[in-house]
Chains A and B, each alone.
Chain A
């Protein structure tokens, strides 16, 4: 390998296998590593030692913005800028303003959630060393991978390889950066 490799990859054949292996990698103290799975495995977040996702915070901000924008828009247009008497209803009432404000709350929450998801996931990222692996198609299908990055302070080509072997990994190889 000319350049320093991105890290090591190991293949696992089943969900229980990668689950147990992940716990071992977590317990060994690695921080810059990941599991590649074709679907989300229940409990794998805990096995990897991941914290709860922060996407809900984005959603909450989005929701609050949406509600305020909705109520504010209607208040401004109907009570301040050009008040008109319609059907004997008051210029502004939170009652009739509610449907629109509610919809905007949901719309903004959805936008914020999706933005939050892309942001926390650092997506789109069309280039990534893992995507160049031959086995990536299998990893999206029915195989599971553990990838440990070489930039991790605990990374050591020999020890990390040994850990992956002990955890049951197969076809352990280097990933080119």
Chain B
């Protein structure tokens, strides 16, 4: 309540205040109790592993083995097994890297930015989204690490003296990437872990009560002795807020630095000042697509409709729509300024994208990124979860193609026609990439089996029963 001036009489206008009725959506539907929330989420961990989980896990492991095989082959035979060659020296590897990092950004957005914006609906999806971020960063990291060729020298990227005798090149955006992605991975893990502590304590105490000492100890170690003390909550909430406050500029900077990989150069189609916010918007766009792809089936399988409500799905769809539109604005600006700037190479780059030898990729990108999000204007579409799920897949397909179009078209046909070429991925490229979906799935399946898929404490905190003033008469 306002504590500003208790001595001054309240302004008379307050007597006239009579808000029109527009109740806010319930974040947890069907009047659930705290105990229901705890049982629902812990039940997944405490129960037996369902058959579908084993089936998915086996398939995921099989798929992940493609990446393992691809990488082993790459390291033993050399980088020539990939399709990279003059003039396209950056191919699928960097596209896949940017793709996975972009997906990861939605997790941090949901955890950090929506926290700062006080969007309470984030609570049922932020834990899974943060896990998605960490696993996406793992998948993303595979590519820059292994694309160096002699992987055993990959540590040369870090600012420590090495056999080359010179220091790292800090003027290079690829070096900045090292710092950005490492920081991003580290901070994401820390943020995710800090969020887990109270929930791990819940599991520890439940297992203790159920007599399962082994699991109680395992969870208990990581719970750090958390006991729910409000003095602890006070520091915890402050730390959480600061981590959210620091993760926000982090996530913006990581994809900005990734965009610098391209924009710092002078290639037409790459060197354009709007890349940083354009990449960030695109990352959020693809990330939310992935969140929808993961959460909608999870919601159906575990019957979480009361926790991930239609309101949650609506919000996520609207964010996809908004960020997709921002990406569309960036496409428009790039195209317009290519014309306005009257640089013939820049102009050619854009004509070539739409009508050159990669036109097929360009139009897939436009269809998926500009057209598909527009469906989300319609309430009927947002309420059809199967359709939303299909659209979310298109969003990610589109964003992969966007990175492909940006990377490959500018390299394949740059300033000198005599250097033009056409790039195709090899089977090793393809298998390594599709295998990363397996790696991601393995990690995500392990997560949902062993860790609380939603933050119980945060969800409870936004339920109406959590309000200490409930039952008192106030506006």
8 Å CB contact of A126 from B176, B206, B220, B472: B220
Assess whether B176 is in contact with A110, with CB atoms less than 8 Å apart.
no
Do A109 and B242 contact each other (CB < 8 Å), given the known contacts A15-B468, A48-B230, A142-B34?
A: yes
8 Å CB contact of B234 from A45, A96, A111, A131: A45
Q: Which residues of A contact B456 (CB under 8 A)?
A: 38-39
B243 at the interface (CB under 8 A from A): yes
Assess whether A73 is in contact with B159, with CB atoms less than 8 Å apart.
yes
- Distance of A97 Cα from B242 Cα, bound (Å): 25
Do A104 and B202 contact each other (CB < 8 Å), given the known contacts A41-B466, A81-B167, A142-B35?
A: no
Q: Which residues of B contact A55 (CB under 8 A)?
A: 235, 238-239, 242
A113 at the interface (CB under 8 A from B): yes
Q: Which residues of A contact B239 (CB under 8 A)?
A: 53, 55, 113-114, 116-117
- Distance of A117 Cα from B197 Cα, bound (Å): 12
CB distance from B141 to the nearest CB of A (A): 15
A156 at the interface (CB under 8 A from B): no
Q: Which residues of B contact A96 (CB under 8 A)?
A: 170-171
8 Å CB contact of A39 from B175, B183, B224, B461: B461
Report whether over half of chain A's contact residues are helix, strand or loop; otherwise say mixed: helix
- Distance of A83 Cα from B458 Cα, bound (Å): 51
Assess whether B466 is in contact with A42, with CB atoms less than 8 Å apart.
yes
8 Å CB contact of B260 from A99, A116, A126: A99
| Partner-binding segment picked from A84-92, A157-165, A166-174 | A84-92
A37 at the interface (CB under 8 A from B): yes
Q: Which residues of B contact A114 (CB under 8 A)?
A: 190, 194, 239, 243
B58 at the interface (CB under 8 A from A): no
Assess whether B224 is in contact with A124, with CB atoms less than 8 Å apart.
yes
Assess whether B243 is in contact with A110, with CB atoms less than 8 Å apart.
yes
- Distance of A126 Cα from B223 Cα, bound (Å): 8
Assess whether B232 is in contact with A121, with CB atoms less than 8 Å apart.
yes
A68 at the interface (CB under 8 A from B): no
Q: Which residues of B contact A137 (CB under 8 A)?
A: 202, 205-206, 208-209
Assess whether A37 is in contact with B171, with CB atoms less than 8 Å apart.
no
Assess whether B170 is in contact with A78, with CB atoms less than 8 Å apart.
yes
Residue from A74, A127, A137, A142 whose CB has the most chain B CB atoms within 10 Å: A137
Q: Which residues of A contact B249 (CB under 8 A)?
A: 102, 106
Assess whether A123 is in contact with B225, with CB atoms less than 8 Å apart.
yes
Name the residue of chain A whose CB is nearest to the CB of B181.
A103
A100 at the interface (CB under 8 A from B): yes
Q: Which residues of B contact A107 (CB under 8 A)?
A: 182-183, 186-187
Q: List 11 A-B contacts (CB under 8 A).
A: A16-B468, A34-B230, A36-B227, A37-B228, A38-B457, A81-B167, A99-B253, A103-B180, A111-B190, A123-B226, A137-B202
